[in-house]
Chains A and B, each alone.
Chain A
Amino acid sequence: MSVVVFDKVSFAYEAWPVLEEVSFAIDEREFFAIIGPNGGGKTTILKLILGLLRPRQGTVTVLGASAGKQAGRIGYVPQSARMEKDFPITVAETVMLGRLGPRSFTPFFSERDRAAACEAMAAVDILPLKDRLFDELSGGQKQRTLIARSLVSEPALLLLDEPVSSVDSAVERDIYALLQELNKKMAIVIVSHDLGFVSSYVRRVACVNRHLVVEEASAMTQGTIDGQYHSHMHMVGHHCGL
């Protein structure tokens, strides 16, 4: 079963076309990457999946419903560099915000919320940091906190926007190892302009450059991370303008 289906989707920012008749599907438990240069439309695809943008033409189906109708079942990890600086909020409270919904009408989190947050923080190894301020964390710790926030609602689909853009290569490896572990339980879609990462970890890749998906790489199985695969990925990158 597909968790995300794009059917002839077109989108434009006012008169500027970004996507034209894009079609693809992402399967359950798939680790899927969207790559492309800055401004190529990859974040637009993410926002269409999240229901934050609506397509001009075509349909986006997420977890069997129209995009935006399954908010509670999607985990979303934005770029940590986008968070408000100096915001006085602890790691635990940040994670618990992932439990909020439109009917959260009290100023307090419940014991159930706290337990779920502890579980999510433990899953990404940040439980000892729970009382630290989010703003005091390193780039990698912030990214793990945002991943925990996305996991706390037990999503079926996890979306990440440039999750390693502000971390060093050692932390990058840690985060991808964590994502591979999480991929055993849920589908993961990751937006990146880092082709090196894509060639090493994901099963399939969609390449977006300005207004269309130019190519999807073939499905990759364990043991095929070899020279031939890499050359194929570099061909994809070349088409994509990377």
Chain B
Amino acid sequence: MGGFTTALTQYPFLQNALVAGLLAAVACGLAGTFVVLRKISFVTGGISHAVLGGVGLAVFLGYSPFAGALACALLFTVVLGLVNKRARQHEDTLIGALWAIGMSVGILFLYLTPGHQADLMSYLFGSILMVPRESLYRLAALDAVVFVIVFILFRQFIAVSFDEEHARVRGLPGTRLYIVLLGVVALTVVVLMQVVGLILVIALLTLPAATAALFSRSPAAIIGWATLIGIVSTFAGIYGSFVLDIPAGPAMVLVAGVLYLAGLALRTFGGRGA
């Protein structure tokens, strides 16, 4: 531990990694809570994988992969939201199609872009130890947007997650709220893309919140605990990566997974808690 602490004071890349992990954990706590409560893990998986299409296309055309990911995530958000409103019975099929097409388009365009084939692995599995300082500002800005949206619409998100029909009866705009919620998820996916990669995004978006939900008595408590579990998972993953020389992304997800399984066992043999 002493070696890690010393390295932390000496190497900016480690400091950047911890800040990126912290920002990712906050986004996970906010968005992940409603992914779990609304039971939209599959939609989240679809968005996160389809985003690779935007990354590949942006790189091929000479634009920033970050901008490509953001544009693609928001585009799919609107498409999925409209399909949910007009043809809900086709939603699963469409998500599966976007999932596969996005991945294929991304891999194809990265393959066709000279000098970028090696980047594919970093997009798929993340590279938190290589996050530059300027990226942290972008991640912080996305976190701020996610926080403001959740703060403003917190009770409305709870209402549609608990009983969407009643929320509509009360005059809440169910479809628009769903699209905004998917937008929050999309922004979080872009934040997490650099931290754990697109393949493992769904794990960090669901595991901390699912663990917190096992013991929480309110959505606000889930957000708080999920953020804390996200921080523990990302920091432990970075530490494990540094000490054991293993990839950080999978290490973080493994920590989050072990915490979830331990929580599930505790809940099964214990109770929900106070």
Contact = CB atoms under 8 A, between A and B. Distances in A.
Chain A partners chain B: yes
Interface of A: 50-52, 71-72, 74, 76, 78, 82-84, 86-90, 93-94, 97-98, 100-102, 104-107, 109, 133, 149, 153
A94 B162 contact: yes
B217 interface: yes
A133 B170 CA distance: 22
Contacts, number: 84
A82 B217 CA distance: 20
A100 B154 CA distance: 11
Interface class of chain A by DSSP: loop
Given A87-B161, A89-B218, A97-B166, A105 B173 contact: no
Given A71-B169, A88-B216, A102-B170, 4 more contacts: A50-B169, A52-B165, A89-B158, A90-B218
Interface in B164-187: 165-173
B163 interface: yes
A88 B155 contact: no
Interface residues of B, number: 31
B171 A101 contact: yes
A74 B218 contact: no
A106 B156 CA distance: 9
B221 interface: yes
Contacts of B168: 52
B171 A97 contact: no
Contact of A98 (B158, B170, B173): B170
A50 B171 CA distance: 10
A26 to B, nearest CB: 17
B269 interface: no
7 contacts: A72-B170, A88-B216, A88-B217, A97-B159, A97-B167, A102-B172, A107-B151
B40 to A, nearest CB: 12
A90 B155 contact: no
Contact of A78 (B159, B165, B170, B220): B165
Interface string B252-274: 00000000000000000000100
Contacts of B172: 100-102
B218 A76 contact: no
A109 B163 CA distance: 18
A105 B152 contact: yes
B246 interface: no
B37 interface: yes
B111 to A, nearest CB: 43
A167 to B, nearest CB: 19
- Give the 6 A-B CB pairs with smallest separation, nearest first: A107-B154, A71-B171, A76-B169, A102-B171, A105-B152, A88-B216
Contacts of B153: 105
Contact of B162 (A50, A74, A97, A109): A97
Contacts of B162: 83-84, 87, 89, 94, 97
